[in-house]
Homo-oligomer: A and B are copies of this chain.
Amino acid sequence: MVPKATSADPALDLERFLPYRLSILSNTISQAIAGVYGERFNLNVTQWRVIAVLGRYPNLSAVDVAERTKMDKVAISRAVNDLIAGGRLDRSVDKSDRRRSVLCLSNHGWDVYREIAPLALACEARLKSSLTASECDALERILDKLTTAGVALLLTGEDLGMQIRCPGAR
């Protein structure tokens, strides 16, 4: 008959679990924004991010874009090729290092950027408008802190179990 939380733990409730809630929130927002530009411009998330970063920082190489967007270089490679095929990106070869390509938005790409960027910012503004000004400030701080803590967890987290739990076990 539906025991509540069987063992001694402080109840792991998925719907209150921070990592899970962040995942739901992030997916919901990404989907919403993708709905705004996806249909209209036929862009996927990776392609849009490439355009966004090149709109802000032109003349990056593919690896630069991958680092800035924190996305996989294979994904970037494919997105870049699709964008070039769609006439939204121009690629040239770096004179001083012929392995590197130099990417920048074409005129058409700039049109797309100038049309979508305000929409994206409007989405963000609408989300933030649900918060008070001080919550908005807090959010900035919190995101920075959590991201730092998350990266630390990623690097050192493997030994969480040994450190935190079960002195006798394992």
Residues of A in contact with B (beta carbons under 8 Å apart) = 1-3, 5-7, 9-15, 17-33, 35-36, 39-40, 49, 52-53, 55-59, 68-70, 110, 113-114, 117-124, 126-131, 135, 138-139, 141-143, 145-151, 153-154, 157-158, 160-161, 164-165
Contact of B22 with A154 in the complex, beta carbons under 8 Å: no
Per DSSP, chain A at the interface is helix
List chain B residues, Cβ under 8 A from A148. 130
Contact of A35 with B118 in the complex, beta carbons under 8 Å: no
A150: shortest Cβ distance to chain B, in Å?
A: 4
Query: From A130, which residue of chain B is reached at the shortest CB distance?
Result: B149
Provide the bound-state CA to CA distance between A160 and B149, in Å: 34
Contact of A147 with B21 in the complex, beta carbons under 8 Å: yes
